[in-house]
Chain A
Amino acid sequence: DSGVTQTPKHLITATGQRVTLRCSPRSGDLSVYWYQQSLDQGLQFLIQYYNGEERAKGNILERFSAQQFPDLHSELNLSSLELGDSALYFCASSVASRNTEAFFGQGTRLTVV
């Protein structure tokens, strides 16, 4: 158990819908990362927050948004869902924003039908 909690574990939704994925980082960690993993694209970095502020932005679609709240949990919002958004979404956390390892949650498997 990494100490990073992601909910829900599985999510099935229809195209065009909006979903919210939630992540609770390890106790004491200030940085949160979001990644998308699919068979064709592999592991893709989406976005990183540190202590509530956006620190780095990757290949995150405009339909996707994220935030980190004062209690340090983070949410990833996915809207106008398409079939191609079906993937595993991972959250990770680290104590610092750089030069440090990250600990990964078990992921949320999103299936868009």
Chain B
Amino acid sequence: AQSVTQLDSHVSVSEGTPVLLRCNYSSSYSPSLFWYVQHPNKGLQLLLKYTSAATLVKGINGFEAEFKKSETSFHLTKPSAHMSDAAEYFCVVSHSYGGSQGNLIFGKGTKLSVKP
């Protein structure tokens, strides 16, 4: 069965310092993986996606993620945080069948705070 674990519920960084949001997944086959961002009272926006092409995926707003099959990880990084990056981030795995969670399995989210 597919599952997603976001290892930190809250991450706090200073503006200009690197961001690392951690995500581990469980999948019985090669998955499709995504990161979404949600600003307060807004919809979820797709940041980036991995679909078995390059293992290092570049997304919007300077974010990138690296797919590591041996570690079953898909961590999200950014070299330098901006105040506007403060939001909640969701790691998502997509699989082939429906069920009680649908085909998109969401992690519980990581709230990123950015200090001036």
Q: Which residues of B contact A (CB under 8 A)?
A: 32, 34, 36, 41-46, 49, 51, 90, 94-104, 106, 108-109
What residues on A are CB-neighbors of B32 within 8 Å? 99-101
What residues on A are CB-neighbors of B49 within 8 Å? 101
Interface mask (A17-53 → B, CB under 8 Å = 1, otherwise 0) = 0000000000000000100000000110101100000
* B43–A106 touching, CB < 8 Å: yes
Please tell me the size bucket of the interface on A: 20 to 34
CA distance A24 to B108 in the complex (A): 27
**B116 CB to closest chain A CB, in angstroms?**
26
Name the contact of B43 in the complex, choosing from A56, A97, A105 (C-beta under 8 A): A105
* B43–A48 touching, CB < 8 Å: no
* B98–A56 touching, CB < 8 Å: yes
* B96–A98 touching, CB < 8 Å: yes
Interface mask (A43-72 → B, CB under 8 Å = 1, otherwise 0) = 101011000000111110000000000000
Which of B51, B90, B98, B103 is the most central at the interface, judged by chain A CB atoms within 10 Å of its CB? B103
* B103–A48 touching, CB < 8 Å: yes
A102 within 8 Å of B by Cβ?
Answer: yes
CA distance A99 to B32 in the complex (A): 6
Interface of B is mostly: loop
**A43 CB to closest chain B CB, in angstroms?**
6
What residues on B are CB-neighbors of A107 within 8 Å? 41-43
Q: Which residues of A contact B (CB under 8 A)?
A: 2, 4, 33, 42-43, 45, 47-48, 55-59, 88, 90, 92, 97-107, 109
* B103–A103 touching, CB < 8 Å: no
What residues on A are CB-neighbors of B108 within 8 Å? 42
What residues on A are CB-neighbors of B100 within 8 Å? 45, 56-59
What residues on B are CB-neighbors of A45 within 8 Å? 100-102, 104, 106
Q: Can you name 5 A-B pairs with beta carbons within 8 Å?
A: A33-B104, A42-B109, A98-B103, A101-B49, A104-B45
**A57 CB to closest chain B CB, in angstroms?**
7
